[in-house]
Chains A and B, each alone.
Chain A
Amino acid sequence: MFSNTLINSVLAVVLTVIVCFIISTLLPGIERKYIHARIQQRIGPLVIAPGIMAPLKFMFKENVKVESPVPGLYKILPILCFIVVLCILVALTPQAYAIPALASLVAIVGFLKVEEICYVLMGALSKSVMSLRMPFPDLAKGGAHLNAQRSFIEDISAKRSLRMITYGSFPLYLALFAPVTAARSIFLQDIVLYQQAHGPFLFTVAGGIAAIVFFIGYMIILNEYPFSIIKAKSDVIEGPYMEYASKYRAIVYLTRGFFMFVLGCVFSVLFIGIPPNIFSLGILVNIAVALIFVFMMGIFSAFSPVFTNRQLLPTILGATLLGILAVVIGLL
C-alpha cells in the first residue's frame, strides 16, 4: 500500500516535471516572437527557434576546451543551475509536501541563492577571448598605466552578480515571504491550504503589492532587461555565459526557459494557491501564470534600456520598500 502511493507520487512528480519542462522550452520563443518582434514591427523567428532548436543545435556542436582556471567546475555550474531549478519545481508539486524540509519557503530561498552564487562563480571562472585574451599589443611603450592590474570583462560581471546577491534579490525574497504573513507558516502545504480556504492571497491588499514586488524580483533574478546588468551587452557582452559552448550552452539555454516557468509556478503556489500537478486542471492555471509573466516581462524588456548601478539601486530600494510594506500590511 505504502509503496504503491510512493510509486504513484514519484510518477506524478516526474510527469509534472516533464510536462512543465516541455512547455517551458517554448517560453523564450514566445517572448521573442510574439512580444519583442511584434513590438519591433517585424516578423521574428520561429517560436521553437530560441527555446528548442538552438539548444538542440548546440548539443550537436563540438566540445571545445574551455578557457578557465578551473574548467571542471566551470562546466558543472550550468548543470548545477538546472538541477536547482528542477529541485524548486519538485518542491512545489503537491506530492512533495510530504517532505516538509523540501516543501518550505526556506528551501526555495536556499535554492535561489545557490542559483545566484552560480552566476558569481561563472563570471569569475570565465576567461573569454573577447577582452583580455584578445591578442592586441596593449602594453606597448607609451600606454597608460602599464602596471595596472588587468581584468577580464567577466570579472566585472562576477562583481556585479555579487552585488546583486547582496541587494538585488531582496524584492523577490520579501515577496516570497509576504504570503507567510497571511498563512502564518513557511510550509507550502499550509500556504496552499490557507488559500484554498480563504481565497487567493493575490486578491488581498498585501498580496497585490507583493505580486508587483514579485514581478520586479522575477525580472531581476532572470537578468532580463532592464535589470540585465550582469550580462549587459554594452560592456560585458554576455557576462557569465561567455565561455560556454556546445552542450553546456544548450543547458544554459534550457535553464533559462525552465527557470521562467518555475518562477511562474512559485507565484501560482504562493499567491493563488494552486500547485503544479499533472493530474489536476490546476496545471492550466500554472501555465497561464507562467505565460502572463513572460508576456509582461517581454513588454517591459522591449521598452527599457539596461539599467546601470545608478538606476538599479533606487529601483531595487523602491521595490524593497514596497515589499516591506506588503509584509507589514500582511502582518497587521
Chain B
Amino acid sequence: MDEKVPRSNIIETEIPMGTVHPAALEPYRVRFFVEDEIVQEAEITIGVNHRGIERIMEGLPVQKANSLTEKICGICSNSHIWNSCRTAEMGLGIEIPDRALYIRVIMGELERLHSHFLYLAHGCEVLSHETFSMRVFYLREIVMELLAMIGGNRVQYGCSVLGGVRPRCELDEAKLLRLKNDMDKIEEGLTDFAARFTADSMVMSRITGIGVLPQKQAIELAVTGPSLRATGVARDLRTTMFEYEDFDFNVITQPDGDVKSNLLMRALESFESINIIRQAISNIPEGKLVNHDWEMVDTDITESYIEVPRGTLYHSYALESGRVRHCIIRTPSMANIGAMQYACIGDQLTDAQLCIVQCDPCFTCTDRAIEVIRR
C-alpha cells in the first residue's frame, strides 16, 4: 500500500473537537485541519488528564504501588497490576504457582474480551449505529459479570498480588462451570454479531478503506498491538510470554489496516481469547494461589513487557528496601497516537473520529508521565 499524502496543502479551516465529545470516551483535544470536509491534518493534544501516577508510586511500598497501578486505566486495569507484579517478581525472582499463572491468564483474556467488546461497541457508536452498539454492550455485560464474579468488582479487580493471585480470585468448580457456560454464550453471541455485521452492506461501505494505515507507516510509527496486527504484521508478545507457554492460539492478522480490518481483528481476536480461556478452564492445575516464600531484597531496574488488549505495556522500576524507585510505565496508546493522527488524513470529517477510535485510544493510560510546563 502506498503512503498516504494529503490531497493538497490548502488548509481551509480548523475544526477543534473536545475535550468533551460524544465520540470520545475520555477527555482529549483534537484539531482537524480540513479542506472541503477532507481532513488534511490532525493534531491530538493529550495531557488533559495528566495526574502524575508515577510520581505517587515513587517511594511507595511495592505492594501498595502495585495496587495503585490499577488506577492508571479503567479498561486495562488488570494488565497494569499484572505487569507491575510481574516486574517485581522478575526482579525478586519469585516463583509463581501454576494455578495462579492460569488464573492470571484467565483474567487477562477476560479483560481482552471486555476491552475488545468495548472497542466494537464504541466503534459502532461512532458509526452512529446504535443498535449494533447496544448488542455488543449486551455481550460485554456477560464478561463484566464474570469479572465481577472473579474479582468482586466490575472495573478494578485487584487480581494479582506479589507471588500469585489474591485468594478472593480462587476459581472453584462452580465458578469454572459458570465461566465455561458463559464462554459458550459469548461465542454464540459474537458469532451472530460478526455474521450480522459483515453482512451489513451499509456498515461495510462506511468502514471499508477508511482510516488506512499502511504497514510501512505503522512500523515506522512503532504502532503496537491489534492496530499493528491489522496492518498485516504478525507481532504478538503473547507468543514470547512464559505465562502463555501451555496455550495454543493463533496470532490473527488482517491485511488492510483500515477500520474494517481493525474491527474484524478485534472480533477474531476475541474468539482466540475464548479459546485460550477454554484451554485454561480444562487444564487448570491444582495447587496454592500465592507463594509467600520469598524475601525482599534491593533490585536493579527491572523491565517487563506484556501484551495487553491494546498493545505492548512496559513497566519498569527498581526496588530499594521494599519501595519503588525510578518507575516508568509506557502504555500502548502512547505509540498509537501517531497512527491516529496519520489515519485521519484524506478521510471525511465524519470519519475522522472513527479513524481515531480505530487505533483504540486510551489517553487516560497515556497521560501519566508528561510534564506539563506552565508559564
**Cβ of A233 to closest chain B Cβ, rounded Å:** 5
Q: Which residues of the partner chain B approach A305 to less than 8 Å between Cβ atoms?
A: 124, 127-129, 202-203, 206
B45 within 8 A of A: yes
Complex Cα distance, B17 from A155, in Å, reads 13
Q: Determine if A196 is an interface residue (Cβ-Cβ < 8 Å).
A: no
Residues of B within 8 A of A (CB-CB), count: 43
Contact residue among A130, A144, A303 (Cβ-Cβ distance under 8 Å from B33): A144
Does chain A have a CB within 8 A of B41? yes
Give the segment of B113-121, B242-250, B323-331, B344-352 that binds chain A.
Answer: B344-352
Q: Identify which of B7-15, B89-97, B167-175 touches chain A.
A: B7-15
Name the distance in Å between B120's Cβ and chain A's nearest Cβ. Answer: 13
**Given A234-B22, A234-B127, are A145 and B15 also a contact pair (CB < 8 Å)?**
no
Residue among A151, A160, A234, A237 with most chain B CB within 10 A: A234
- Name which residue of chain A comes closest to B32, CB basis: A235
Compute how far the CA of A192 lies from the CA of B226 in the bound complex, rounded to whole angstroms: 61
- Name which residue of chain B comes closest to A228, CB basis: B128
**Which residue on chain A has the smallest CB distance to residue B38?**
A309
Decide if A155 touches B13 in the complex (CB within 8 Å): yes
Whether A232 and B16, one on each chain, are in contact in the complex, defined by CB atoms closer than 8 angstroms, is no
Task: State the main secondary structure of chain B at its contact with A.
Answer: mixed
Residues on A with C-beta less than 8 A from B129 are: 304-305
B351 adjacent to A308 (CB under 8 Å): yes
CB contact list, B97-150 vs A, under 8 A = 124, 126-131, 134-135, 138
The answer to whether the Cβ of B321 comes within 8 Å of any Cβ in the partner chain is: no
Type the 1/0 row for A148-172, where 1 means its CB is closer than 8 Å to any CB of B. 1111010110011000000000000
Residues of A within 8 Å of B45, CB to CB, are 136, 138
- Residues in B neighbouring A150, C-beta threshold 8 A: 13-14, 16
Asked if B354 is at the interface (CB within 8 A of a chain A CB), the reply is yes
Chain B residues with Cβ under 8 A from A42's Cβ?
Answer: 134
* Residues of chain A within 8 A of B130, CB atoms compared: 36, 40, 302
**Once bound together, how far apart are the Cα atoms of A136 and B29, in whole Å?**
8
Interface flag for B19 (CB, 8 Å): yes
* Interfacial chain A residues near B351, Cβ < 8 Å: 308
CA distance A303 to B18 in the complex (A): 28
Chain A stretch 115-138: residues in CB contact (< 8 A) with chain B = 130-132, 134, 136, 138
Pair B128/A153 contact, Cβ less than 8 Å? no
Closest residue of chain B to A36, judged by CB? B130
**Structural contact, A136 and B19, CB atoms closer than 8 A:** yes
On chain A, the residues within 8 Å of B126 by CB distance are 234
On chain B, the residues within 8 Å of A143 by CB distance are: 31, 43
Question: How many angstroms from the CA of A149 to the CA of B33 in the assembled complex?
Answer: 9
Contact B33 A148 (CB under 8 A): yes
- Tell me, rounded to whole Å, the shortest Cβ–Cβ distance linking B12 to chain A: 7
Select A134's contact among B18, B41, B349, B354, beta carbons within 8 Å.
B18
Task: Flag whether A205 is at the interface (Cβ < 8 A).
Answer: no
Q: Smallest CB–CB gap between A327 and chain B, Å?
A: 27
Partner of B349, one of A40, A235, A307: A235
Known: A148-B11, A302-B130. A134 touches B16 (CB 8 A): yes
CB <8 Å contact, A131 and B350: no
- In the complex, B178 has a CB within 8 A of chain A: no
Cβ of A220 under 8 Å from chain B? no
Residues of A within 8 A of B219 (CB): none
Q: Does B282 contact A (CB under 8 A)?
A: no
Partner of B12, one of A149, A229, A304: A149
B contact residues around A306 at 8 Å (CB): 127-128, 350
Contact at B31–A39, with CB atoms within 8 Å? no
Which A residues lie within 8 Å of B131 (CB)? 36, 39-40, 302-303
Contact across chains for B128 and A145 when beta carbons are under 8 A apart:
no
User: In the complex, how many angstroms separate the beta carbon of A13 from the nearest chain B beta carbon?
Assistant: 39
Closest CB-CB distance, B148 to chain A, in whole Å?
21
Chain A contacts to B: CB under 8 angstroms: 36, 39-42, 130-132, 134, 136, 138, 143-145, 148-151, 153, 155-156, 159-160, 225-226, 228-229, 232-235, 237, 302-311
The 9 closest A-B pairs by CB, nearest first: A306-B128, A305-B127, A308-B350, A305-B129, A308-B348, A151-B13, A148-B14, A40-B134, A144-B43
Known: A225-B128, A232-B350. 5 other contacts (CB 8 A): A134-B16, A138-B16, A304-B129, A305-B203, A311-B206
Please, could you name 27 A-B residue pairs with CB atoms under 8 Å apart, sorted by A?
Answer: A36-B130, A36-B131, A41-B138, A130-B20, A132-B16, A143-B31, A144-B33, A145-B14, A148-B14, A150-B14, A150-B16, A151-B14, A151-B15, A160-B37, A233-B23, A233-B128, A234-B354, A235-B17, A302-B131, A303-B131, A305-B129, A305-B206, A306-B127, A307-B202, A309-B348, A310-B348, A311-B206
Binding site for A on B (CB under 8 A): 11-23, 29, 31, 33-34, 37, 41, 43, 45, 124, 126-131, 134-135, 138, 200, 202-203, 205-206, 348-354
